[in-house]
Structure 1
Amino acid sequence: MSQDTRFILKLSCPDRAGIVHAVTGFLLEQGGNILTSAQHGDADHQRFFMRIEFECAALTEASALQAAFQPLAERLQMDWELVARSAKTRVLLLVSKLGHCLNDLLFRVQTGHLPIEIPAIVSNHRDFYQLAASHNIPFHHFPLLNSTEEQKQAQERKIREVMAENQIDLVVLARYMQILSPELCRDLSGRAINIHHSFLPSFKGAKPYHQAYERGVKLIGATAHYVTSDLDEGPIIEQEVARIDHSLPPEQLVAIGRDTECVTLARAIQWHAEHRILLNGRRTVVFR
C-alpha cells in the first residue's frame, strides 16, 4: 500500500478500561489496518499512552481522519496527534561555534538517514555559513555583540520570524550556547530539543567534561532533552555514555563526548520526527 495512505496516531489520556478497544474500533470503522501498536500505562499518575501506525486506503488526507477522531478524543479527554506518515518534520537548527552536531545532522539528512527537512539554520556566529551553503540551506546570522536583554529580545524576534516564514515544527539547539527566554521556552514547549554534553542530572551548566574529570568519573555521557525555562531540567528523551579512565585529560574527554552528543541528538530528533515521544509531566514516554 502507498506511503500516502499511512498514518500515525499518538495519544495520552486518563487511564480507564476500554481505551484500546475504542481506538482500534474507530480505526476499523474507518477501514484502517494497524501496522504497529505500542502502549504504556503509568500507574503512578493513572495515565495511558499509545502510538499506532496504520494504513487506511479509503482516506488519503489526515484532516479527514482528524475530524472523525475528534469526538472520541474529547470523550476520553485525550491529548493527541494524528499525522500522515509521509509528512516530514520541518526543523530549525540553532548553533554557535561548535559544529560537530550540526555537521552530523546535515550529513544524516543528506544521506536519507534522518527523515526531516531543514529549511533554515540560525547562528549567533558566522562560522558555519559555508557549511550551510554547501547543503543549500539558508543561513541566518543573528549576532549578540553585548548580550544585553534588549539585544537578546531583538534576536529572538528574528528567530521567531524565521520560524514563521519556514513553518517550523521543531527547533533544535545543536550546541547553541545561548539561553532562550522563558517566553520562547513556553511557546516551544515540546517542540524544542537541546543536546547537553553530560549525563544529566549530573554536571549541569558550563564545562561538564571538566567537572567530570575533576570528579574522576568512569563514564561520561550526553543528554537530549526538551527545552524548558529551567536550564538543563527539561524532560529527557535520550542519553548515551562512553567509558573513560584516569589516563585521559579533559581535552580527550571533550573529543570522546562529541561523538556521543551527535548520536544522542540524532536519535532524539528521529524519534520526535517519527512521533514516538509523548510528554508525561517532567518525563517522557518513548515508543522506540
Structure 2
Amino acid sequence: MQAMNKEKQEKFHETFANRGRLLVKCPDRPGIVSAVSAFLFEHGANIIESSQYSTDPSGGIFTLRIEFELEGLSSNIAVLEDNFMPIAGSFEMEWQLSPVTKLKQTAVFVSKEPHCLLEILWAWQSGEMMTDIALVISNHNACRPMAESLGIPFYHVPASKENRKEAEKQQLSLLKEYEIDLIILARYMQILTPDFVSSYPNAIINIHHSFLPAFIGARPYERAYERGVKLIGATSHYVTTDLDEGPIIEQGVERVTHHDHTDELKRIGRSIERSVLARAVKWHLEDRVLVLGNKTVVFS
C-alpha cells in the first residue's frame, strides 16, 4: 500500500519539478499584481494560475496566490526569495515562496471513530492528497490496524482531563521529532490546551460535526435532533483557543426530516464530515487557504 503511494509521489515530483507557488497578503494599493507579475517575468517564470481577492479596494487587505513554472526552480528558489524581498518590503507583504513538490509533513489525531481517518488515508493512498502522513496519534488503539497496514507509525497516547498536560507533552515531542507542518484532527475527541494550539497557529485543522456556529461543543447531533433541525452539517476549521470558533475553511449540509432520529443524523453526518474534512485538508496542502483574522480566503 505504501509503495503505491510512493509511486504516485514520484510521478508528482517528476511532473511538477519546476512548479512554484507564491502567496501574498498585504495592505491593498495599486501596483501589487503588476510588480509581482513583472518580477516573475524578469526571472523567466511562466504564470500558470493566478487568483486574488481584496477585502476592500479602497484600503483593505489584498491576497494573491500564483502558481508558476520556472526551469531549474529547485536550484534557484533561494535566489528568487532574496530578489523578492525588496518588493515584499515596499508593499508590506506577508509572503511565502515555495516549490510545489515540497510536501507538508502531516500528523493525524483520531479517537475511536475511524471514518474521517479512513477518508484521509484513502485520499493519501490514491494520490489525491499530496502530503507525507508521518504518523497517527490516538488516545485509543482502535485505529492502529488502519494506520499500520499502510506502514504509517501509530502512537497510542492516553489523554483525558486528568493527564492532559502530560499527554500533550508527549504529543508535542512526537510532532517535533517528525517535523510536522500540519495536524489533522480526524474526530479527535479531546480539547487541546492553549499552549498546544499556540505551538501550531493556523496549522491544526478540525472537523466539527455541526454546521457552525450552530451547536458548538459536545453532542451536536443530539441537540440538533432535540431542536428539530431540517439541515445538518459539518464544519472544518482551524483550531484556536476559542472552542469551535476558529477560521472556517469548508462546510457541508444535508437535508433531514422528522423521521430521522439521532442515530440516522449521525449516519448522514459521518458522510458529510469525511468529505468536508478532506476538502479542507487538500486546500491547505495546496496553499489555497489564507487566514484573515477569524475568516479565510479559499482560492479555488
Q: TM-score, normalised by structure 2?
A: 0.92
Query: What is the alpha-carbon distance in structure 2 between the residues aligned to residue 3 and residue 199 of structure 1?
Result: 36
SS in 1 for 2:257: coil
Instruction: Give the aligned partner of residue 226 of structure 1.
Output: 238
Counterpart CA distance in 1 for 2:152 and 2:73 is 34
Match of 2:158 among 123, 143, 148: 143
CA deviation profile, 1:60-112 (whole Å, cap 9, x unmatched):
24333222212211221111111111122211000111111001111111111
Aligned with residue 55 of structure 2, among 36, 42, 45 = 42
Residues 80-119 of structure 1 mapped to structure 2, 5 A cutoff: 80-119=95-134
Partner of residue 20, structure 2: 7
Opposite residue 156 of structure 2, the aligned amino acid is H
CA deviation map 1:125-152 (0-9, x unaligned): 11111111111100011112x532xx21
- The equivalent residue for 2:248 is 236
State the distance in 2 between where 1:40 and 1:204 align.
30
- Secondary structure at the aligned position of 1:172 is classed as strand
1:6-54 superposed Cα distances (whole Å, 9 cap, x missing partner): 1011111000110001110110111110001000010186110000000
Taking the aligned partners of 2:15 and 2:113, their CA distance within structure 1 comes to: 41
Aligned twin of 1:284: 296
**Aligned amino acid, residue 243 of structure 1:** R
Counterpart CA distance in 1 for 2:73 and 2:170 is 39
**d(CA) in 1 for partners of 2:266 and 2:110?**
18
Residue 71 of structure 2 corresponds to 57
Say which is worse superposed, 189-198 or 60-69, in terms of deviation.
Answer: 60-69
RMSD over aligned CA atoms reads 1.4
Q: Is the 8 A contact 1:31 1:58 kept in 2?
A: no
Choose which of 215, 218, 221 in structure 1 pairs with 2:227. 215
Aligned to 1:66: 81
Q: Which residue of 2 aligns with 1:274?
A: 286
Amino acid at match of 1:55: E
CA separation of 1:2/1:258 partners in 2, compared to 1, >3 Å: closer, same or farther?
Answer: closer
| Residue equivalent to 2:257 | 245
TM-aligned CA distance change 1:187 to 1:110, over 3 Å = same
Give the structure 1 partner of residue 10 of structure 2: none
Aligned-pair identity in percent equals 45
- Whole-angstrom distance in 2 between the partners of 1:250 and 1:261: 16
The answer for the alignment partner of 1:23 in structure 2 is 36
Cα distance in 2 for residues equivalent to 1:264 and 1:64? 38
Corresponding position: 1:123 with 2:138: yes
1:183 aligns to what?
195
* Unaligned ranges ≥5, structure 1: none
Q: Compute the TM-score of the two structures, normalised by the length of structure 1.
A: 0.96
**Structure 2 gap ranges (5+):** 1-13
8 Å contact 1:30–1:58 — kept in the other structure?
no
1:33 pairs with 2:33 = no
- Residues paired across the two proteins, number: 285
Shift, 1:186, TM fit: 1.5
Runs of 4+ residues over 3 Å off in structure 1: none
Q: Contact between 1:185 and 1:227, CA under 8 Å: does it hold in 2?
A: yes
Judge conservation of contact 2:17–2:73 (CA < 8 Å) in 1: no
